[in-house]
Structure 1
């Protein structure tokens, strides 16, 4: 692991963010590749992995994003907490706006529960866009951390950025599966199902590069940017991930998955960050 951190430390931060999120994208593609071997989704396993995804995202929001944001904010008392509070609110509002505009359909929901503007798009596209919505704040978070670490700002580290990329990559495995396998069940070919599954994470490298560039160009926004990514991820977890995991009677499995994901991300961030 030390070699990996040293490798990323020697890279331009924008390039480091790009490489890290290409890794998370490849793990999504790995998850999507299960469609070549599995046609039907096991709901117990799926709900457990959704819970796991939520746990990773919540832990990352605090340990990798909010805590560093608070640590690097200047001042005391209310003055110190305002950048994190404002950024967090703006991140949630940003995803709220996308959620209302971007047409999408969550995996466990019936087609009459489509969200966003009305569109004739096929269900396969809507399912893919639902997972893509999850991935925007994830890529942004990785890029912001790499940018902050390169700028030498206290509270941001290459180890923390690598830990975040690993945690997001691990939870991307079931996300690729969550798109590809249901599409195969709808009658799409294995190749098309795989392509839709891996495409759901293609947005992560773009968001990461944007996040790293923004922080390097405007260093003073880093506390806001970190908490912005945290607010975006928490909104996704509460509005989408958790409700999806609770549609069937696998609530205990989903909850245990959440706990497992939270612990894994916490351990990665504290050990590496």
Structure 2
């Protein structure tokens, strides 16, 4: 029913609705702050591992595989756009990571990264998760853009599966922002507001991604691979190190395996 409804909409509107859903799940995760003052570190590390697994699986099935197939259909060796786009996604996120002031919420003793600023810790905590969410929204957007190109490895069902997977891992991300903010002394209401705000970038990135590939289709395989590279950068640079920083590596790895399996199931069964 959902897929039939989305099929009647433009890729841009599809991406907007899907990323509004992922934003809503971020807000639901941030809403935990109204019921709990803290989250067990073992649970948090398991959830971070789960998020990493979802993003790794989505990067291949939802992004790189369609990028390779589209390239080959255009008469271009499949590895060229995949490799170039993938590396550019990582380079772009590395540049943003160096410039954007942020503070990792899962690392208790972390120091602010990026350019020096006098911004409050609450703002820096939100910006760290916002940095995670941009490639996720972009990935959903370009997935819906790819579905408009009629190839076997990209479909609306597959894009919906990606949005569901991203939504699942956004729940712990919302909590990972709001709970530390409450520990910083903010009220539950303000902690929730900041936590859900970290997901606002996803609809923006989603619409940008869908519009870009819809109106400039030759860039589609590069855009898909770019989103994959950006997500893998987040996994390797932040999610896995944070999940293993408190000695809960076995739980984090179990979460990663489960996240990968869930995203693989969603993509293969729905896509």
TM-score interval w.r.t. the shorter chain?
A: over 0.9
Specify the alignment match of 1:204 in structure 2. 202
CA distance in 2 between counterparts of 1:110 and 1:195 reads: 21
Q: Which residue, out of 52, 76, 79, partners 2:77?
A: 79
Q: Deviations over 1:190-237 (max 9, x none)?
A: 010000100001000000000000001111111111000000000000
Contact 1:72 1:154 in 2 (8 A): no
Assess, with a 3 A threshold, how the Cα gap between structure 1 residues 189 and 72 changes in structure 2: closer, same or farther: same
Compute the TM-score of the two structures, normalised by the length of structure 2: 0.97
Q: 1:14 is matched with which residue: 12, 15, 40?
A: 12
Task: Find 2:268's aligned residue among 264, 270, 273.
Answer: 270
Corresponding residue to 2:166 among 165, 168, 178: 168
How many angstroms apart in 1 are the aligned matches of 2:13 and 2:85? 25
For residues 1-48 of structure 1, the C-alpha deviation after alignment (integer angstroms, 9 at most, x for no partner) is: xx1111111111101100000000000000100100000121010000
Which of 238, 241, 249 pairs up with 1:240?
238
The residue number in structure 2 matching 1:24 is 22
Post-superposition offset of 1:152: 2.6
C-alpha contact 2:103 2:110 (8 A) present in aligned 1: no
CA RMSD of aligned residues (A): 1.5
Q: Which residue of 2 aligns with 1:186?
A: 184
Q: Take 1:146 and 1:130, find their aligned partners in 2: how far apart are those partners?
A: 26
Task: Determine helix, strand or coil for the equivalent of 2:164.
Answer: helix
Deviation sequence 1:159-206 (CA, Å, 0-9, x none) = 110000000001101010000011111110001000010000100000
Give the CA deviation at 1:107.
Answer: 1.4
Equivalent residue number for residue 98 of structure 2:
100
Instruction: Spell out, residue by residue over 1:39-85, the C-alpha distance to the aligned partner (whole angstroms, 9 max, x if none).
Output: 01210100000000000000000111011111221279993211110
* Structure-1 residue corresponding to 2:2: 4
Gaps of 5+ in 1: none
TM-score, normalisation: structure 1: 0.96
Cα pair 1:33 1:177 within 8 Å, conserved: yes
Q: Which runs of 4+ in 1 moved over 3 A?
A: 75-78
With 123-132 and 66-75 compared, the bigger mean Cα shift is at 66-75
1:109 Cα shift?
Answer: 2.5
Are positions 1:36 and 2:34 aligned together? yes
Q: Which runs of 5+ in 2 are unaligned?
A: none
Could you tell me which residue of structure 2 aligns to residue 50 of structure 1? 48
1:251 equivalent in alignment to 2:249: yes
Partner of residue 121, structure 1:
119
Give the deviation of 1:156 after TM superposition: 1.6
SS at match of 2:78: helix
CA deviations on 1:245-266 (whole Å, 9 max, x unpaired) are 1110111101100000000000
Offset of residue 147 of structure 1: 1.1
Q: Tell whether the 8 Å contact from 2:67 to 2:78 is kept in structure 1 after alignment.
A: no
**1:271 Cα deviation after fit:** 0.5
